[in-house]
Amino acid sequence: MKNKLLLIRKSRLKLMTLMLGLCFGFASAQELSVSGTVSADGAPLPGVSVVVKGTQTGAVTDFDGLYTINAKSTDVLIFSYIGFATKEIAIKGKTSLNISLEEDASELDEVIVVGYGTQRKKELTGAVVQVKSEELAKTTTSDIGTALQGQIAGVNITASSGQPGEEANILIRGFSSLLDGQNGPLYVVDGIPYNSDPQLSISEIESIDVLKDAASASIYGTRGAGGVILITTKQGKVGKMDIRVNSEYGVQDITSGTPLMSSYQLTYMDMLRGAQSSGKVQGGVNAEIHRNRSWFTNDTALEDLILNDLAPIQNHSINVSGGKDGLTYNFNASFYDQSGIMINSDYSRFNIRSNTQFTKGNWKIATGLTFKRDEKTLPNYGVFNKILEYKPFQPDIELGQTELTDVTEDDVDEPGGIGPIRNLGGVARNLNTKEVRDGTSNGANIQIDFDATPSLKFTARGGANFSHDKGVRIIPRLDVYNTAGDLIPPNPWDISLIQTAVTDNNKLTFEGMMNYHKKFGKHDLNLLLVNSLEQTENEYFRAEKRDNADAAVTVFDGYTTGDLITSDGRDYKRTLIGYLGRIQYNYDGKYIFSGSIRRDGSSQFSPQNRWGWFPSASLGWNVSDEAFWEPIKETVNSFKIRVGYGTTGNDRFASYSNQAVVDLGQDYVFGSADVDPSLNSTTETPALGTTQERYANENVKWETSKERNLGVDLAFFNGKLTFSNDVYVSEKKDLLFGVVNPPSTGVFGSNRSSILNIGDMRNTGHEMALKFNHYGKKGFNWNMGLTYAKNVNLVTKTSPNNPVIFLDNSYISQRGPRELVSVIREGYEAAAFFLRETDGIIKTEEELEAYKEIDPAASLGQLRYVDQLTVDTDDDGIPDAGDGKIDQDDKVYKGSGSEDFNMGFNFGANYKGVDFSMNWYGSQGAEVMNGSKAYAYQSGTHADIYYSWTVVNPLSDIPYYDGSPNTNSYRDASDYFLEDGSFIRLRNISLGYSLPSKLTDKMKIGKLRIYVQAQNLLTITNYSGFDPEVGNNGFSSRGIDQGTYPVTSQYKVGLQLQF
Amino acid sequence: MCMLVLVSQACSDDFLDQTNPNSLTTKSFWKNNSQLNQGLNSVYSALKNNDVLGIQNESVRTDLAVPSGYRQATRPDEMYFQDFTANTKYVENKWNALYLGVFRANQVIENYERLAVDYTTEAAAEEGSRVYAQARALRGYFYYVLNTSFNSGNIPLVSSVPKDFEEFQKALSSSEAVQAFYRDDLQYGIDNLPSTYADWESYGSNNLGRITAGACEALMGKSFLAENDFQNAEGYFKNVIENYNYALAEDIATTVTGIAEFNSESIFEINYTTNVNLETTGEESLAQNITYIVFNANIQPSSWLAMKYRADKIDPADPANINVGADVYNENGEIIGTEDRMRLYSKRMGDCMGQVDDPDSPMYGAINGEYGNATGVAPFARNRVNMFKKFLHWNTIGGGAGEDRSTLMNNRSGINIPVIRLADVYLMYAECMLESGNLPEGLKYINRVRKRSHLVLLGKASEAGAEFNNLETTYMDDIDFDSSNGQQPVTVQNLMEHLRFTERPLELSLEGDRATDLRRWGKFKEQLEHLASIKYDYWHYEKNLNGKHGTRYKCFLTVSGEEPTTYEGKKVFNQPPEVQDAVVGAQKFNESLHAYLPMPQSEIDSNLNWDEFVQ
């Protein structure tokens, strides 16, 4: 193929000749071996990269600063090391070259990856931030988001939960969409866009570049609205084979919990309540304990059973890289394994990546092959809450049993009958229920670069990713026998079953690019044209069978009834075509312009709305390069101003939302087996019903985001101190919004909304990043970084027919009435909490009489809600009176799960072989709804209830528990459960020691570092629940602690080995 | 590469055209009668929703039932406390369920009208028109329920599949306009549908259970009755009675326990089954869970209704009231023989309500009075006060076991639920007669219903309209059947009172539209206040008839101060005294707020025209 191309094109032949000539020319120079020491401030400098200029030949200095390299006598060597000025030295026939490097902390020459190319940091006009592998590797996690937390100003990362294998929520510059789950960034790995988190292991990543502003992200057009995360994986370097082994092992712990009542306290409250509601004396009341006398001495803490303290976590990786002229390779394998702190929650993942790069002449071919296998075990839904529900006098349960024997049943003559025993079986079944999800994915990508002329380059890139996921959920059979050995039949709804869900997903990407780069004097011009094609296919089915015959056989054949197979309407195929043109120009590195335009077509839309334009423009001015800056250049080394404007879109909503369809499954039956004898239609055949169930909007179109960004970058004292500051305003237009149609049109529940472009939203933000690096003369180096980000979100327009939307998942506890608390409402941030204000407890009869005006059903000990001023009695336009009842109108704005600002602080230091680093993260101003507390209240088990208002404790400020989870006082949507979610957390602290080179040399290894590390060691917060960091699904349930799996503390030791 | 770009350009629209692989689009469906029929099935499917009839909520909101254990007003129940608002789940769910039916019917109607012009054969045209007539009739029924349930009858009238904004956000139509609309639908059904179930069978198997002309006619009459338009109603009822060969079934149990579905008394019932597709969930499920709501005593007869059943006067002359071979017990509760004796309580009570001391009526194969507190028995056998027996398998499941509580059944049942049956039509017709002053004709139909349950009949045997003038029938011209307080001859007025507050609730408890009835009589609040004014005592039942089982707590009610008279020799005591029903509800009931359900908040929130009227 290559030869053919060369043969048929004359120009290529000419080039070939030219190249051959050059090679011949080189051949005449003399080969020699050059060696020497690289030092700084008189001390040897290990790890310095030494490269023969214009070739791929390279070497790295060892721990004594020594290097050896083969080169020609006429060659030039390039010495480079982070934090030092790069030096170029001509060999001029010498065989020994000792070099001293000058400290230079300037990062301006750092290469930053922007979409479809790279730029020197100095020429950057957008808000793009790079995080290198060393920073990422400091956190032990399976998740990229978690590793990025606190590293980049304006990238808000909130752990969704502490469940192993869970992905953190990443919000770049605030909410970008009002659709649940569509606020995340686009991931691009080595140029290939992914539909979701690519689940890479941290060890295979070389760097992550985040395109925060729309001017940068609009390169990815329709998918850029949530920002873009560009991931570059490790590539091999020419030189000696480098083997690195990292190994880490640790344990996890949770540090807080919800306080619960003891058996005695609970029984006391039971009897008190019984006496109060029946009018009997306390001693005359039969409480639950009386009916279950054998439970008398129990004081069970289910927590001890469900939680798995000191759960292990481990992470191991091996990286082999190296290469010779024309071929470099990098192989990475990693294994991550985390046991959850809760039963039945584990995650393990095995990643392999093999990257190779072939270079020959004008051709460069880079390939990547990946394999991923992960296994995630999930406990039953809401198991965590079982801790809060379980009464301490109920018996202890042993996990993993398939039968419970000798269960006492001493209450047969009581109204409850065998209920408690059946319920015990139900709880045991529930705890034993788990789901195992296996995921396998294989990926391959190839990139071919051809330099047609020194300034014209063609690139073709292809990527394929195939993933296969299988989830198996088993509700096991569990038989309960009483003391007489009789089987107690389970409750009718305690059905044993197996559910298997299989998803197949494949994604193909192709991109063709043409790049023209030319310098004319001080002008530097870069032109880019891209054509991009993408296709994603998804297939899904779920199978279910019920009634397990024997707990030992849990494959499908072991179940006796109810074959159910469904595809749930989840199959889809999506396609995307993109055309992109970009021009980058700078004059003398001083005045920089970048403009791009992308045209995208997506199958998500009907033909009339299919294509969209996404332009962007940005300007940069390196003010410090101007002559007038000279006087202060010594102190303020660089000063750059950046302005940018860009447009991005979002097409991520349920596929085929623009097509109205009919669905099967609204069935009826005619005929009857029990028919009156005068008739004869005794056959019962289901009459299959098919009908349209929801409305579609054929005219759905892009959701667009227009953002303006102003940034400055400053560097002081030889680049030791850098500072950057960005402000932005982004206007989100035509937000896709699930507009709720009136139920009179025949739709409700999940069918009720159609996707319409209706809402507008604004994000205004401010980001700052400060970095300081100090390279000490005596080998004591330290650095610190500080980030600050503030984003203000405001919904500026909502659908005229849905002015207030309560978000579907925003209840705080599954136990109570499940009131929704988060809303989208014009004039407030998205997903703001709207709650009833509370006004203490009704403590006296007088207070009760007064409050009965508002709520006639009120009783003593209940929480008093505020009847907000909603009625305008004197027609002055200002509401001045309550409406005499507590209803939806009395819910008022009470903040949200979105923080006011967040800050990250990193500190690192090393001296000789010892290194230390820590990472603090703080979030201020977010509110948290304490759903765990609400759950324990509604279950009547919370320790507070012991101290609640009762007839004998009439001064308490804790509302009375009347025995029902739906008690008016414990309703979800009240500020009683609202807490301040601000926190400061020591996310990471580590101390390491590298063995001196004398020792490692003897051991014949390159480097050996051992370290101890702790994650989430310390959290300073006023929040009373498990964890103030409550991300959940990132939007509708953000800030709502629904008994979320808490984030854990981790303590680890690790080893890094390099050959 | 340039080639590739060109190729991709050329076929880009093909590449970007993706059709949903999961479902047919509306454009590719609705092509023929078979698909119209599938659409129609989904309209029938909408009937299956519990909230269409709302048995549980409608009965606690009226004088028929109390929610389980709620006599002591400890926990709020929005419907029972007359505390429901636009936010109440039932209000929302009922609205949703009914408009879902309307939406589906509209799809069938619209697409039939489109297809109708192109039928090539006579047979196809006829089949299509039958589908169309059913869709119209069912839409008529959904609107009838909407009209009589919500917002004084003023509701959005969605008559087509909405296409633009105005159609999505419909303003209200006046109650009269809604009535005119759905009566047009029902009339179309009367004129175009097969008249009875049997007629439907002539169109082939699997047509049994479809809506009939008879059902439309009965519903039409009922819709006029809901307006107290007795003259119009009368005509339709008369047709139903005379033209469709309907006949009362042997007893009420025949029509409400699934033993003879679609029998001669049934005019329209919702068909359920557990024989097929038991594994399905959601709307694919063909079963109902009313059976278990009743069985678990989530609704219990109100104390007032329980007293009414107990007082239901059995006819001593009617041999059907003799319990042949009833057990005789000694002091220890052992059976020492049998005897033939008169029933203690009426057969109508035996069919409709279970009570702890009833020695004659079976309950899952055991005698109520023998039914005890043992392992595996039904909740009722323990400590429930009274229990409805309608929609239960009490006469088909034996051994005292109660409903099938296996995980396989998972609280599902196949018993059909009647929408309207002949006894209802008889009583409604009788009401029309009484309104027009025709006492004999009114008595005739009330007595037909009473005779079926072997009760003492009202009026004089000698009167011209008396149909059962024979030795096995007793007539009493005393409206309260109590000669000790002097004879109170039957008059139009007192018979009307009897019809409203004795005959209809006893015959049609959990059926019929009680809220509509109370409202149109102007008696809603008065009746709730009446219920709340009576105080009752609980009694424990120390030993069962056969003495085998332990105490059943708080399982018997008497009006406060009275003692149980229906069984002897058993020690009983009362605690705590003075239980009342409907206290909160009677106090809170406000005619303008609670006679109709309000329009749900979800409609108000999403329909900008919710407070506008169609011009």
CB < 8 Å from B in window 415-454 of A: 415, 417-418
- Provide the b/e sequence for A269-296 (b: ≥16 CB within 10 Å): bbbbbbbbeeeeeeeebebbbbbbeebe
Q: What is the dihedral of CA A283, A285, A290, A296, to 10 degrees?
A: -50
* Stretch A499-518: mean pLDDT: 94
Amino acid at A528: L
Q: Would you say residue A952 has pLDDT above 50?
A: yes
Q: Would you say residue B177 has pLDDT above 90?
A: yes
Q: Chain A contact for B45, CB < 8 A?
A: yes
Q: Would you say residue A22 has pLDDT above 60?
A: no
Q: Would you say residue A7 has pLDDT above 60?
A: no
CB of A746 closer than 8 Å to CB of A740 = no
| Contacts with B277 from chain A: Cβ below 8 Å | 667, 669, 686
Mean pLDDT of chain A: 85
Provide the shortest C-alpha distance from residue B218 to chain A (in Å): 21
Q: Chain B contact for A747, CB < 8 A?
A: yes
Chain A interface, best mutation among B11, B12, B38, B42, by max A CB count within 10 A? B42
Asked if B271's CB is within 8 angstroms of A672's CB, the reply is yes
Cβ within 8 Å of residue B313, ≥6 positions away: B346, B455, B456, B476, B481
Q: Chain B contact for A207, CB < 8 A?
A: no
Asked if A801's CB is within 8 angstroms of B606's CB, the reply is yes
Provide the shortest C-alpha distance from residue A936 to chain B (in Å): 19
Q: What is the dihedral of CA A1019, A1022, A1027, A1029, to 10 degrees?
A: -90
CB of B314 closer than 8 Å to CB of B342 = yes
Q: Would you say residue A691 has pLDDT above 80?
A: yes
Question: If residue A704 lies in a helix (H) or strand (E), which one and from where to where?
Answer: strand A703-716
Question: Helix, strand, coil % (nearest 5) of chain B?
Answer: 45, 10, 45
Asked if B208's CB is within 8 angstroms of A670's CB, the reply is yes
Q: What angle do CA A904, A909, A911 make, to 5 degrees?
A: 175
Distance spanning both ends of chain A, measured CA to CA:
40
pLDDT digits (tens, 9 = 90+) for A192-217: 998 888 888 888 899 999 999 988 89
B41 vs A1047, residue with greater confidence = B41
pLDDT at residue B10 in the model:
52
Cβ within 8 Å of residue B6, ≥6 positions away: none
pLDDT at residue B383 in the model:
62
A489 vs A128, residue with greater confidence = A128
Strand, coil or helix: A611: strand
The residue in chain A having the minimum alpha-carbon distance to the alpha carbon of residue B47 is A668
pLDDT at residue B433 in the model:
97
Interatomic CA distance for residues A661 and A543, integer angstroms: 24
Interatomic CA distance for residues A891 and A516, integer angstroms: 60
Q: How far is CA A753 from the centre of its chain?
A: 27
pLDDT at residue B381 in the model:
65
The residue in chain B having the minimum alpha-carbon distance to the alpha carbon of residue A497 is B407
Reading the block at residue A284, the tokens are 């005359």
pLDDT band at A12 (very low <50, low <70, confident <90, very high): very low
Asked if B264's CB is within 8 angstroms of A678's CB, the reply is yes
pLDDT band at B73 (very low <50, low <70, confident <90, very high): very low
CB of A465 closer than 8 Å to CB of A397 = no
CB < 8 Å from A in window 126-185 of B: 155-156, 158, 161-162, 168-170
| Contacts with A742 from chain B: Cβ below 8 Å | 156, 168-170, 602-603, 606-607, 610
Q: What is the ipTM of this complex?
A: 0.94
DSSP designation for B169: S
Asked if B38's CB is within 8 angstroms of A804's CB, the reply is no
Q: What pTM does this model have?
A: 0.84
The residue in chain B having the minimum alpha-carbon distance to the alpha carbon of residue A561 is B279
Say what angle helices B524-533 and B303-310 make with each other, to 10 degrees: 80
Dump the DSSP string for A521-567.
TTEEEEEEEEEEEEEEEEEEEEEEEEEES-TT--SGGGEEEEEEEE-
Asked if B284's CB is within 8 angstroms of A743's CB, the reply is no
Instruction: For residue A856, give the nearest of B18, B273, B588 by CB distance.
Output: B588
Provide the shortest C-alpha distance from residue A94 to chain B (in Å): 48
Q: Chain B contact for A745, CB < 8 A?
A: yes
pLDDT at residue A10 in the model:
44
CB of A94 closer than 8 Å to CB of A198 = no
Provide the shortest C-alpha distance from residue B86 to chain A (in Å): 10
CB < 8 Å from B in window 928-987 of A: 962-964, 966, 968
pLDDT at residue B167 in the model:
85
Question: If residue A340 lies in a helix (H) or strand (E), which one and from where to where?
Answer: none
Q: Chain B contact for A214, CB < 8 A?
A: no
Q: Within 13 A of A439's CA, how many CA atoms are on the CB side? A: 20
pLDDT at residue A348 in the model:
93
Asked if A962's CB is within 8 angstroms of B602's CB, the reply is no
Instruction: For residue B198, give the nearest of A569, A679, A695 by CB distance.
Output: A679
Which of A141-145, A570-574, A614-618, A730-734 is least confident? A141-145
Q: Chain A contact for B7, CB < 8 A?
A: no
Distance spanning both ends of chain B, measured CA to CA:
64
The residue in chain B having the minimum alpha-carbon distance to the alpha carbon of residue A568 is B22
The residue in chain A having the minimum alpha-carbon distance to the alpha carbon of residue B156 is A744
Instruction: For residue B42, give the nearest of A674, A690, A964 by CB distance.
Output: A690
The residue in chain B having the minimum alpha-carbon distance to the alpha carbon of residue A448 is B1
DSSP designation for A372: E
With tokens 């429901």, the residue in question is: B84
Q: Chain A contact for B110, CB < 8 A?
A: no
pLDDT at residue B3 in the model:
45
Q: Chain B contact for A257, CB < 8 A?
A: no
* Stretch B478-495: mean pLDDT: 91
Q: Chain A contact for B22, CB < 8 A?
A: yes
With tokens 């069935």, the residue in question is: A667
Instruction: For residue A676, give the nearest of B44, B99, B263 by CB distance.
Output: B263
| Contacts with B605 from chain A: Cβ below 8 Å | 740, 802, 804
* Stretch A113-133: mean pLDDT: 87
| Contacts with B197 from chain A: Cβ below 8 Å | 679
pLDDT band at A724 (very low <50, low <70, confident <90, very high): very high
Q: Chain B contact for A485, CB < 8 A?
A: no
Instruction: For residue B96, give the nearest of A561, A602, A743 by CB distance.
Output: A743
Q: Would you say residue B608 has pLDDT above 80?
A: yes
Asked if B100's CB is within 8 angstroms of A673's CB, the reply is no
Cβ within 8 Å of residue A896, ≥6 positions away: A822, A828, A829, A831, A832, A833, A926, A927, A1038, A1039
pLDDT digits (tens, 9 = 90+) for A891-946: 999 999 999 999 999 999 988 889 999 999 999 999 999 998 999 999 889 999 99
Interatomic CA distance for residues A200 and A46, integer angstroms: 30
pLDDT band at A607 (very low <50, low <70, confident <90, very high): confident
> How many CB atoms within 10 Å of residue B609?
17
* Stretch B206-231: mean pLDDT: 96
pLDDT band at B490 (very low <50, low <70, confident <90, very high): very high
| Contacts with B47 from chain A: Cβ below 8 Å | 668
* Stretch B567-586: mean pLDDT: 69
pLDDT at residue B372 in the model:
62
pLDDT band at A83 (very low <50, low <70, confident <90, very high): low
- What is the percentage of chain A residues whose pLDDT exceeds 70? 94
Instruction: For residue A668, give the nearest of B44, B96, B106 by CB distance.
Output: B44
Say what angle helices B422-435 and B213-225 make with each other, to 10 degrees: 40
pLDDT at residue A415 in the model:
41
pLDDT at residue B49 in the model:
95
pLDDT digits (tens, 9 = 90+) for B402-414: 888 888 888 899 9
The residue count for chain A: 1059
* Phi, psi for B63 (deg, rounded to 5): -95, 5
Asked if B608's CB is within 8 angstroms of A547's CB, the reply is no
Q: Would you say residue B332 has pLDDT above 80?
A: no
Say what angle helices B230-243 and B422-435 make with each other, to 10 degrees: 140
Taken in order B59, B61, B65, B69, is the CA torsion positive or negative?
A: positive
Q: Chain B contact for A410, CB < 8 A?
A: no
pLDDT at residue B377 in the model:
61
Asked if B16's CB is within 8 angstroms of A603's CB, the reply is yes
Q: Would you say residue B578 has pLDDT above 80?
A: no
Instruction: For residue B608, give the nearest of A661, A676, A801 by CB distance.
Output: A801
Provide the shortest C-alpha distance from residue A166 to chain B (in Å): 29
With tokens 């009307």, the residue in question is: B496
CB of B503 closer than 8 Å to CB of B450 = yes
> How many CB atoms within 10 Å of residue B11?
11
pLDDT digits (tens, 9 = 90+) for A801-836: 778 888 878 888 888 778 889 998 999 999 899 999
Provide the shortest C-alpha distance from residue B48 to chain A (in Å): 8
pLDDT at residue B545 in the model:
65
Taken in order A1021, A1027, A1031, A1035, is the CA torsion positive or negative?
A: negative
Asked if A802's CB is within 8 angstroms of B85's CB, the reply is no
Closest CA to B162 of B94, B86, B232, B99: B99
Mean pLDDT of chain B: 89
pLDDT at residue B518 in the model:
97
CA distances from A862 to A272, A847, B498 (A): 16, 11, 44
Are β-strands A891-896 and A832-836 bridged in parallel, bridged antiparallel, or unpaired?
antiparallel
> How many CB atoms within 10 Å of residue B231?
10
Are β-strands B475-476 and B457-458 bridged in parallel, bridged antiparallel, or unpaired?
parallel
Q: What is the dihedral of CA B119, B120, B124, B128, to 10 degrees?
A: 10
Q: Chain A contact for B543, CB < 8 A?
A: no
Q: Would you say residue A358 has pLDDT above 90?
A: yes
Strand, coil or helix: A432: helix
pLDDT digits (tens, 9 = 90+) for A395-437: 887 777 777 776 765 544 444 455 667 777 778 888 889 899 9
Q: Would you say residue B572 has pLDDT above 70?
A: no
DSSP designation for B370: G
Q: What is the dihedral of CA B464, B468, B470, B472, to 10 degrees?
A: -150
Cβ-based burial of A955 (10 A; exposed 0-12, middle 13-18, buried ≥19): exposed
pLDDT at residue A2 in the model:
40
Amino acid at B29: F
Interatomic CA distance for residues A315 and A337, integer angstroms: 6
Taken in order B281, B286, B288, B292, is the CA torsion positive or negative?
A: negative
pLDDT band at A154 (very low <50, low <70, confident <90, very high): confident
pLDDT at residue A562 in the model:
74
Strand, coil or helix: A492: coil
* Phi, psi for A444 (deg, rounded to 5): -145, 140
Q: Chain A contact for B96, CB < 8 A?
A: yes
Interatomic CA distance for residues A614 and A602, integer angstroms: 13
> How many CB atoms within 10 Å of residue A123?
22
Q: Chain B contact for A78, CB < 8 A?
A: no
pLDDT at residue B210 in the model:
96
